[in-house]
Structures are given as structure tokens and as C-alpha cells.
Structure 1
Amino acid sequence: MKTERAQQIYQSKDTFSVRLEGKAVWIENVDEANGMATVQIESNPLNTMTVSVDRLDEKD
């Protein structure tokens, strides 16, 4: 995924299916300058990590 798309998803009121290595994630923050995103893994608010947006996939 490109940084710009990750930012669009983060700012949208709509829900999008985003995955990290096959696991559903919610984008919690996007660092456009560094191409990184903080994501919540599945529905566990205690399971967050910061990853390169290149590792994120948007599913239809």
C-alpha cells in the first residue's frame, strides 16, 4: 500500500478491509514522512505495532 492511501483510509469515516500478513488490522496513525503506520491487530486494542505501509494490503 502507498502512504497516501493509508492516510486516506485512516482519515475516512468509511470502513476498509486492510490486512497485515493475512491478519485484519485497523490503522490508528500514519507517519507520512517516514512511510510508517501504527496498526491495531485484529480487534485487540492492546496488540498494536508500527510497520511500513508497504506491508499493508487493502482487500475488496
Structure 2
Amino acid sequence: MSSTKRGRAQDRARVAGGQDQEVRYEAKKEGVTKDVVKSAVKDVGNSGTKVEANLEKKR
């Protein structure tokens, strides 16, 4: 795991359903709406890999 300039751990493998910028990024990357991403986060948790797999399954 990489760290920020302040030395804090940085985890890019997560999608925070409450963070609008993260939801927008994932929605744009996957070509779906923000609501679909939020639903996927609710269904499988905030693991980026699981969210992406869930979105692929819904297509």
C-alpha cells in the first residue's frame, strides 16, 4: 500500500459509497450511473474488485 505525503496509508482498492468523487470516478470508468455504483457498493461492500465484478455482472 502506498502512502500520502503526510505518511498516511493510502488505499485505492476501496470505493467509498458516500464519497461523491469516488462514486463519480468509478461510474465514469465503468460507463454506468452513480446510482448503479452506489447500489453495487451496498450489495458487495466497498472493495473495488468486488464492486467492478458486480457491475460487470449487471451489464
TM-score by length of 1: 0.30
Higher fraction of strand: 1
- Which one has more relative contact order, counting CA pairs under 8 Å at least 6 apart? 1
**Structure with a larger share of its residues in helix:** 2
**TM-score normalized by structure 2?**
0.30
Higher Cα Rg: structure 1 or 2? 2
